[in-house]
Amino acid sequence: MSSTPDWQAPKAAQPKPENYDYDLEQALGAMVALRSTVPPEAFSAETLGTERQGNAVHIGNGQVLTIGYLINEADTIWLRFSDGSVQQGTVLGYDHETGFAIVQTLGQVKVPALEFGDSSAIRIGDAVVVAGAGGRRRSVAAEVTGRQEFAGYWEYLVEDAIFTAPSHPNWGGTALLGAGGDLVGIGSLQLERAREGAEAEPINMFVPTDLLKPVIKDLRMHGRPNRPARPWIGAHAAEIDGNLVVIGRAKHGPARAAGLQRGDLIIGVAGEHVQDLGGFYRRIWSLGKAGVEVPLLVVRDGKKVEVRIISGDRSQMAKAPRLH
């Protein structure tokens, strides 16, 4: 998660109103500072901590959009708006597949709201703004440096993620503003991009808001997408030297219970060869909904071993948030 909430962008990196064909100050006025606390017994407390802070963006009707790990299992959420007002919020909905979360404020909101843009229209080389809570001083004039698949070790996949540079060090929940000042992405991660003959460059990864549009009604009405949950096995894997290696297992997760071990090399799922994270996840998800058995073929100590895992619903592992 982002860890420098008091950071301010150098003046040269701050977006300048004259460079944009929209009211930059009004757009930045939709940004919200978010703080949450999570019980120490929560499933995610060990990896994400019990005190979290980042950004969110007002999308209308007192609802703010953010990245889910900031509010996952939170028992308190506080929101500071651009007009200086502070309000408590409650989780309205969370989609584990995309990572989007919507928080509902408990009082009246008088700051601007951002409209959703067409994130599919964002191209490499486009000028964008990475907007954080706190106005231009905490926002970055950036450029789109990549659009490609991103697979995370925690069984997470975004097929067409947006990458930007220079990076925003308080990236969690930042808003990616397109050419019209509309919302085209929500900040999720900071990564590094290799550069020939130079040090690696930090970049930000955004989840495109087009992924939210098909489920936003469900999140608002039901708290989660109205579709069967994907099978989750609780295995942390990484691509290392051309191999798909188990680097960890979720505490109390299905993979640990089934005997999957750290260091196992995953070579197959249900009789089909896999060699990268994206293919691994797609094969698991193709087997059916949460609860389906997931047979893995692994190499352990030079021998092939089959590990049969009864998958679960990731959302059922988390301490239930106080939904609307």
Q: CATH number of the domain at 94, please.
A: 2.40.10.10
The confidence score (pLDDT) of residue 194 equals 82
Mean pLDDT of 227-240: 96
Q: Do 103 and 178 fall within a single domain?
A: no
**Is 241 inside a domain boundary?**
yes
**Is 185 inside a domain boundary?**
yes
Instruction: Look up the domain containing 138 and give its range.
Output: 119-211
The confidence score (pLDDT) of residue 216 equals 98
Cα 296 → chain centroid: 27
Domain final residue, candidates 191, 222, 253: 222
Q: Do 104 and 167 fall within a single domain?
A: no
Q: Do 202 and 131 fall within a single domain?
A: yes
**Is 84 inside a domain boundary?**
yes
The tokens for 69 are 């790990």
Q: Is the pLDDT of residue 310 over 50?
A: yes
Beta bridge partners of 244: 239
The confidence score (pLDDT) of residue 7 equals 82
The pLDDT > 90 percentage for the chain reads 88
Nearest C-alpha neighbor of 165 from the set 13, 3, 5, 29: 13
Q: Is the pLDDT of residue 260 over 80?
A: yes
The confidence score (pLDDT) of residue 323 equals 46
7 versus 266: the higher-pLDDT residue is 266
Cα–Cα distance measured from residue 126 to residue 139, given in angstroms and rounded to the nearest whole number: 17
Q: Do 60 and 126 fall within a single domain?
A: no
CATH number of domain containing 312: 2.30.42.10
Mean pLDDT of 189-212: 91
The confidence score (pLDDT) of residue 315 equals 87
Q: Is the pLDDT of residue 254 over 70?
A: yes
The confidence score (pLDDT) of residue 131 equals 98
Q: Is the pLDDT of residue 1 over 90?
A: no
Domain final residue, candidates 222, 251, 271: 222
Q: Which region among 156-160, 209-213, 232-236, 250-254 has the lowest average model confidence (pLDDT)? A: 250-254
**Is 248 inside a domain boundary?**
yes
DSSP 166-181: S--TT-TT-EEE-TTS
106 versus 40: the higher-pLDDT residue is 40
Q: Do 245 and 161 fall within a single domain?
A: no
Q: Do 25 and 101 fall within a single domain?
A: yes
Report the number of distinct structural domains present in the chain.
3
Q: Do 160 and 205 fall within a single domain?
A: yes
**Is 150 inside a domain boundary?**
yes
Cα–Cα distance measured from residue 61 to residue 104, given in angstroms and rounded to the nearest whole number: 8
Q: Do 61 and 131 fall within a single domain?
A: no
Domain final residue, candidates 222, 252, 283: 222
